[in-house]
């Protein structure tokens, strides 16, 4: 699986609601990053290391004064552009006293940062509009993973694991039993994996939230925008319901957009951002509470499994042998695109 990082890409650093008038520290692609919001509401990102003696500016007693951040060790003070504006006991400020800043885009409830040695230019992060749409109700969270990000990519691109890891929540026998189709849009660099189950058991995650009592038609349409954004268009309808109409309306079905942002922190740590947006029961707080708790449990089941796998793989000699089968085609396509983005040849593994 993939461990090299794709640089010159957008990565989710935080939810917008996490970035405010107190400093937040996140490490992304091994870069310690300080995040905070200026008094006029702009999210800023800069190196989380004082140029003087490396004290972290996200850690107390470092603190904000207006839009400036004051280092908590000897008082070096920096503006939101990273430039040092004051050092203790002298007027002269060395020209080199400045923090590297990172381009920031706030979009679809995420704070995205650009990590690389080039500027993003007009490249924007991929979209997840449901998370801020009035036509959807969204619950979200983030779990830190003590595992390399490629393990989470593999996990999310192959949902057959739901039958085994997530029984009683989102898994049923039909998920692992139903074959998938995989397509890659090479130009856009997007991987599509679809699994359409015509007649399946309805897992509690959907039975409780939609109120459906019997068996269902269940579509899982994955759209992975490497490196960071994963979308699962989930369509649930009572078995035998009509498909979406030609004009795109789909009144007989329930739709859930399951969004993950996979942000590598270090070689063996990852931020696992998750969000579940639904187009039904919009004002029902009980449904929101249920989906939030249920999805957090699902995420923690994956976190536990992937943390275990990380220990196993970290202890294995390099070039250990994997065996891939049909369910892995999406994950292998993702690895190929990620390796291309990271500028390295993908490790070959034949699908048998």
Ligand X SMILES: NC(=O)c1ccc[n+]([C@@H]2O[C@H](COP(=O)([O-])OP(=O)(O)OC[C@H]3O[C@@H](n4cnc5c(N)ncnc54)[C@H](O)[C@@H]3O)[C@@H](O)[C@H]2O)c1
Q: Which residues bind ligand X (CB under 6 A)?
A: 183, 185, 192, 194, 219, 221, 223, 233-235, 244, 248-250, 255
By CB under 6 A, what part of segment 1-60 binds ligand FES? Answer: 50, 52-53, 55
- Using a 10 angstrom Cβ sphere, with 0-12 exposed, 13-18 middle and 19 or more buried, the burial of residue 36 is buried
The least CB distance from residue 197 to ligand X, in Å, is 11
**Judged by CB, which is closer to Fe ion: 272, or 302?**
302
Q: Which is nearer to Fe ion, 302 or 310 (CB)?
A: 302
The number of residues that bind ligand FES (CB under 6 A) is 9
Nearest to 113, CA basis, from 35, 38, 39, 189? 35
Task: Tell me: does residue 236 bind ligand FES (CB under 6 A).
Answer: no
CB 287 within 8 A of CB 257: no
> Which residue, 69 or 253, is less far from ligand FES as judged by CB?
69
Residue 78 as a binder of ligand FES (CB under 6 A): the answer is: no
The tokens for 247 are 């004009």
Whole-angstrom Cα distance, residue 191 to residue 180? 13
From candidates 302, 303, 331, 334, binder to Fe ion by CB under 5 A: 302
Other C-beta atoms lying within 10 Å of the C-beta of residue 217: 20
| Residue from 44, 200, 258, 342 in contact with ligand DHB (CB under 6 A) | 258
Q: Which does 232 bind (CB under 5 to 8 A by kind): ligand X, ligand DHB, Fe ion, none?
A: ligand DHB
Query: Which residue lies nearer to Fe ion by CB, 123 or 300?
Result: 300
Among 109, 209, 210, 234, binds ligand DHB (CB under 6 A): 234
Length of the chain: 352
> 71 contacts which partner out of ligand FES, ligand DHB, Fe ion, none, CB within 5 to 8 A by kind?
ligand FES
Residue 76 near ligand FES by CB under 6 A:
yes
Per CB under 6 A, 97 contacts ligand FES: no
68 binds ligand FES (CB under 6 A): no
Closest to ligand DHB by CB, 233 or 340: 233
Contact between 272 and Fe ion by CB under 5 A: the answer reads: no
Residue 280 is a binding residue for ligand FES (CB under 6 A): no
Q: Across the strands, what pairs with 45?
A: 35
Q: Does 75 bind ligand FES (CB under 6 A)?
A: yes
Among 46, 99, 202, 298, binds ligand DHB (CB under 6 A): 298
For Fe ion (CB under 5 A), the number of binding residues is: 1
Whether the CA torsion 295, 298, 302, 308 is positive or negative: it is positive
Among 73, 169, 280, 290, binds ligand FES (CB under 6 A): 73
Residues near ligand FES, by CB under 6 A: 50, 52-53, 55, 71, 73-76
**In the complex, which residues of this chain contact ligand DHB (CB under 6 A)?**
159, 162, 170, 205, 220, 232, 234, 258, 295, 298
């Amino acid at each position: 699986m993939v461990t090299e990082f794709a640089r010159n890409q957008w990565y989710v650093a935080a939810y917008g609601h996490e970035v405010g008038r107190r400093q937040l520290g996140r490490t992304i692609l091994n870069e310690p990053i300080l995040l905070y919001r200026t008094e006029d509401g702009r999210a800023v990102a800069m190196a989380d290391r004082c140029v003087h003696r490396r004290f972290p500016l996200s850690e107390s007693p470092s603190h904000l004064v207006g839009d400036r951040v004051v280092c908590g060790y000897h008082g070096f003070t920096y503006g939101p552009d990273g430039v040092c504006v004051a050092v203790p006991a002298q007027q002269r400020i060395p020209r080199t006293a400045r923090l590297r800043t990172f381009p920031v885009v706030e979009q679809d409830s995420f704070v995205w940062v650009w990590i690389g040695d080039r500027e993003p230019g007009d490249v924007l992060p991929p979209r997840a509009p449901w998370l801020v749409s009035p036509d959807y109700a969204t619950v979200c969270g983030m779990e830190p993973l003590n595992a390399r990000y490629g393990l989470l990519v593999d996990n999310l691109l192959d949902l057959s694991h739901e039958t085994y890891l997530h029984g009683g929540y989102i898994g049923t026998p039909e998920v692992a039993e139903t074959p998938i189709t995989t397509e890659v849009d090479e130009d856009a660099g997007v991987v599509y994996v679809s699994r359409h189950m015509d007649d399946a058991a309805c897992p509690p995650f959907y039975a409780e939230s939609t109120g459906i009592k019997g068996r269902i038609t269940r579509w899982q349409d994955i759209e992975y925008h490497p490196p960071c954004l994963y979308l699962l268009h989930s369509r649930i309808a009572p078995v035998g319901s009509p498909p979406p109409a030609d004009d795109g309306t789909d009144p007989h079905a329930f739709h859930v957009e399951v969004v993950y942002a996979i942000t590598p922190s270090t070689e063996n740590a990852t931020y696992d951002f998750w969000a579940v947006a639904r187009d039904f029961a919009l004002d029902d707080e009980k449904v929101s509470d249920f989906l939030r708790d249920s999805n957090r449990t699902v995420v923690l089941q994956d976190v536990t499994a992937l943390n275990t796998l990380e220990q196993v793989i970290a202890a294995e000699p390099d070039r250990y042998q994997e065996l891939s089968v049909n369910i892995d085609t999406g994950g292998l396509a993702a690895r190929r695109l990620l390796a291309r983005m990271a500028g390295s040849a993908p490790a070959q593994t034949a699908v048998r």
